[in-house]
Amino acid sequence: MANPQFDVYRLPDEHVAIREATKEVCDAEVAPRAAETDSAHVFPAKSYAALRGADLHAPHIPVEYEGAGIDALGTAIVIEEIARACASSSLIPAVNKLGTMPLLLGASEELKSRYLPPVARGEAMFSYCLSEPEAGSDVAGMKTKAVRDGDSYVLNGAKRWITNAGESEFYTVFASTNPGTGSKGISAFVVEKADPGVSFGAPESKLGIKGSPTREVFFDDVRIPADRLIGVENEGFKLAMRTLDHTRVTIAAQAVGIGQGAVDYASGYVQERQQFGKPVSAFQGVQFMLADAAMKLAAGRQMTYVAAAKSEREDPDLTFFGASAKCFASDAAMEITTDAVQLLGGYGYTTDYPVERMMRDAKITQIYEGTNQVQRIVIAKQLLSGMAHL
């Protein structure tokens, strides 16, 4: 008889059910629209509606703010399953989590009660404005400023590469409140799309995730009430980093989902495709490529789920595990999807088959929420400071 102790090392039934429910919605409503979403470069409004209908658009929001209250592991599984079908659509729950995480970690009860329920109800999305034209990896070098003026702050500056910008109603915006002090002078605010002085650049023309608009966001004398400050003034840098500790796990999940989509498609294809009088899956060279892909995928998934558990518990080594899962799973997704194109040969290189889209979509997971070079800096720093408990 199986030792019940080992029951802990598999997904609880509740998480298996979350996967099955998400898969059902995605197979029916999201996957059939993925190719068109990519080729038309449009926000997948119908997929968003389907996700809203199933309460999968912002699953992480706690029940007390009208959310589904799904934990970090369940949220990772939701994002993974959506990404398996359509990476662009998976950015809906991923970026809703990214945008709202600073509130969940640091905002007043009043701010949380005002801004989280509309996201939970699917009436608004929430984007995260950290990067700037001259401050991508070097967050502390940001130039956007927020100046206190009576009961208000006045924001001026520009943010770049903001996912779902223009579609989202709400934005977490990081700005310098004490210029010249680097990471010690940054604060976080909630800004609304409707605030006078907020405007957007044209959608970026991108390699992948074409259904998720990426735009600049401009702040021109944007006056907001001072109570839109998230947490404590000048402590925004740490809030930004703590947020990314949690949400790099969701990018890892997205990468796992994209990789799974590619493995699923390629393994079906090689069993159908005949060359030299037999299916190409009969050749060891092909089997080795598939085996490598499946192995990397399984490893990336395990790391992601461990990191998700650490995110849920707020373990002190989350920084290490979040960065490691994101870095490993995204590098794996890039290799897996590139090999999937190779396995389909000439067909894989055409838009008639989904693997070239998956390869293009995988690339961003190595770049956003911190390049994989930044992840390695974070990982090494955690290791050398004794914070990584392997």
Q: How far is CA 173 from CA 9, 224, 378, in A?
A: 39, 12, 23
Pick the stretch among 8-16, 110-118, 273-281, 362-370 that binds ligand CAA (CB under 6 A): 362-370
Examine residue 374 and tell whether it contacts ligand CAA (CB under 6 A).
yes
SS3 state at 289: helix
Q: Which segments of the chain are extended strands (E)?
A: 126-129, 145-149, 152-163, 170-176, 186-192, 198-200, 214-225, 229-230, 274-275, 278-279
Smaller CB separation from ligand CAA, 239 or 286? 239
Active-site residue, selected from the candidate residues 29, 81, 132, 369: 369
Smaller CB separation from ligand CAA, 133 or 225? 133
What is the smallest separation between the CB atom of 279 and ligand CAA, expressed in angstroms? 39
Select the residue interacting with ligand CAA from 22, 96, 172, 319 (CB under 6 A). Answer: 319
Select the residue interacting with ligand CAA from 238, 282, 347, 372 (CB under 6 A). Answer: 238
How many H-runs (helices) and E-runs (strands) does the chain carry? 11, 10
What is the smallest separation between the CB atom of 347 and ligand CAA, expressed in angstroms? 31
Separation of alpha carbons 274 and 67, rounded Å: 49
What is the smallest separation between the CB atom of 382 and ligand CAA, expressed in angstroms? 9
| Site size for ligand CAA (CB under 6 A) | 24
Q: Is 369 a catalytic residue?
A: yes
Sketch the per residue contact string, 102 through 131, with ligand CAA: x for CB under 6 A, - otherwise.
Answer: --------------------------x-xx
CB 199 within 8 A of CB 220: yes
Phi, psi of 113 (to 5 degrees): -70, -25
Task: Give the end-to-end CA distance of the chain in Å, rounded to a whole number.
Answer: 31
Examine residue 341 and tell whether it contacts ligand CAA (CB under 6 A).
no
- Give the type of residue at 151: D
Q: Which of 256, 286, 255, 257 is nearest to 269 (CA)?
A: 286
Q: How far is CA 11 from CA 76, 85, 194, 292, in A?
A: 12, 21, 42, 24
Smaller CB separation from ligand CAA, 52 or 242? 242
Examine residue 252 and tell whether it contacts ligand CAA (CB under 6 A).
no
Examine residue 241 and tell whether it contacts ligand CAA (CB under 6 A).
yes
Whether the CA torsion 18, 54, 75, 78 is positive or negative: it is positive
Pick the stretch among 26-34, 62-70, 239-247, 303-311 that binds ligand CAA (CB under 6 A): 239-247
Q: Interface residues for ligand CAA in 183-202 (CB under 6 A)?
A: 183
Examine residue 139 and tell whether it contacts ligand CAA (CB under 6 A).
yes
What is the smallest separation between the CB atom of 250 and ligand CAA, expressed in angstroms? 9
* R_g over Cα of the chain: 21
Q: Which residues pair with 176 in a beta bridge?
A: 145, 186
Smaller CB separation from ligand CAA, 165 or 266? 165
SS3 state at 320: helix
Residue nearest to ligand CAA (CB): 370
Q: Exposed, middle or buried, 94 (CB in 10 Å: 0-12/13-18/19+)? A: buried
Smaller CB separation from ligand CAA, 32 or 203? 203
Q: Which residues pair with 175 in a beta bridge?
A: 187
Examine residue 244 and tell whether it contacts ligand CAA (CB under 6 A).
yes
Separation of alpha carbons 180 and 142, rounded Å: 10
What is the smallest separation between the CB atom of 233 and ligand CAA, expressed in angstroms? 15
What are the residues binding ligand CAA (CB under 6 A)?
95, 98, 128, 130-131, 137, 139-140, 161, 163, 183, 237-238, 241-242, 244-245, 319, 368-370, 374, 377-378
The residues that are catalytic are: 369
